[in-house]
Amino acid sequence: MKPTLVIMAAGIGSRYGGLKQIDPVGPSGEIVLDYSVYDAIRAGFGKVVFIIRPDIEAAFKEVIGRKLDGKIEVEYVFQTMEQVPEIISETGLSAIALAKAEGRTKPWGTGQAVLMAEPVVNEPFAVINADDFYGRESFEVIGKQLAATDVFSTDFSMVGFYIKNTLSPFGGVARGYCDVQAGKLSTVTEYFEIERGDDKVIRHSGGEMANDDMVSMNTWGFTPKLFDFLKRGFIDFLEREGGELKSEYLLPELIDGLIQSGEATVDVLPSNEKWMGVTYSEDKPEVMAGIRALVDAGVYPKNLWA
């Protein structure tokens, strides 16, 4: 059974100032997620699922969907504030009733986003962000892991990146710091405004970390068992925070809770790849130069889908 790649592409990209998911960065007009899908195909993935918003559907399919015809199976699912599963809490309230926060306009976060993929995912799957460049090795290690994972397993996985390889020179970034014990994820803690300090130190909102400390870049490996946890957690989240305008149901927080309760484990798969992403508009030339260097080195063809 070939694994599936689920790509979260519904974000607006407010700090960047535009719809960065479909902003060209490659020499032949490729966008960042073109490279993710290309690497996934090379790594043996058999399907890609795009989580998008209805208002970007036409542009998204025009920019990337049509390029993939005949190359890999493609599915689209939508994330909106209103689209929630028909699940009932222990108090008898439905998620649909709970998800009616007056004045709220944005969806419910990455946990809800992945939950939207349940109807089209029946095999082990990876989850990534649309606007992050993860590199060939990252897909190879997660693809190999998922291909050997039982579909009913709660032994999940995550590609871990060294923090020194994930920074932007143009401002602070948010990363999930990973405490790894014997190859397993012990805890993941979100830190903000992470920037390079001196040669040995990375500074962040909570203090400092070392260059080789490991962080999550939202590159996860799951089985369909995750959806049961997501539905249960979503109801709990809505009962607790559903009335707030900006609360988010976050995938890393759910995973951390499953680890602490002993309901799931997460293998950490180190990657030496250098992350590239367009967090700020100034990042785009850096990403373009980085991809050009990989093309010149023969890692990617000049025209990815020719």
CATH of the domain at 151: 3.90.550.10
Number of domains in the chain: 1
Would 109 be classed as within a structural domain? yes
What does the alpha-carbon distance between residue 80 and residue 109 come to, in Å, rounded to a whole number?
Answer: 10
Cβ atoms 21, 132 nearer than 8 A: no
Cα-only R_g, the chain: 19
Task: Report pLDDT for 194.
Answer: 87
Task: Report pLDDT for 91.
Answer: 61
Annotate 59-91 with DSSP letters as a single string.
HHHHHTGGGGTTTSEEEEEE--SS-----B-TT
Question: Which DSSP category does 105 fall into?
Answer: -
Would 305 be classed as within a structural domain? no
Would 17 be classed as within a structural domain? yes
Average pLDDT over residues 188-206: 78
Sequence-ordered list of residues with C-beta below 8 angstroms from that of 274, at least 6 positions apart, any chain = 135, 165, 290
Long-range contacts of 101-108 (CB under 8 A, 24+ apart): 101/242, 101/243, 101/244, 101/245, 102/243, 103/245, 104/244, 104/245, 104/246, 105/81, 106/81, 106/246, 107/10, 107/79, 107/80, 107/81, 108/81, 108/84, 108/234, 108/237, 108/238, 108/247, 108/248, 108/249
Would 115 be classed as within a structural domain? yes
What does the alpha-carbon distance between residue 92 and residue 270 come to, in Å, rounded to a whole number?
Answer: 43
Would 21 be classed as within a structural domain? yes
Would 116 be classed as within a structural domain? yes
**Residue linked to tokens 């990042």:** 283
183 burial type by CB count under 10 A (0-12 exposed, 13-18 middle, 19+ buried): exposed
User: What residue numbers bound the domain in which 55 lies?
Assistant: 4-296
Note the pTM of the prediction, 2 decimals: 0.90
Would 15 be classed as within a structural domain? yes
47-64 pLDDT tens trace: 999 999 888 888 888 888
134-178 pLDDT tens trace: 999 999 999 999 999 999 999 999 999 999 999 888 888 888 889
Token pair recorded at residue 170: 């143009």
Would 175 be classed as within a structural domain? yes
User: Using N-to-C axis directions, what is the helix angle for 251-261 and 225-241, rounded to 10°?
Assistant: 110
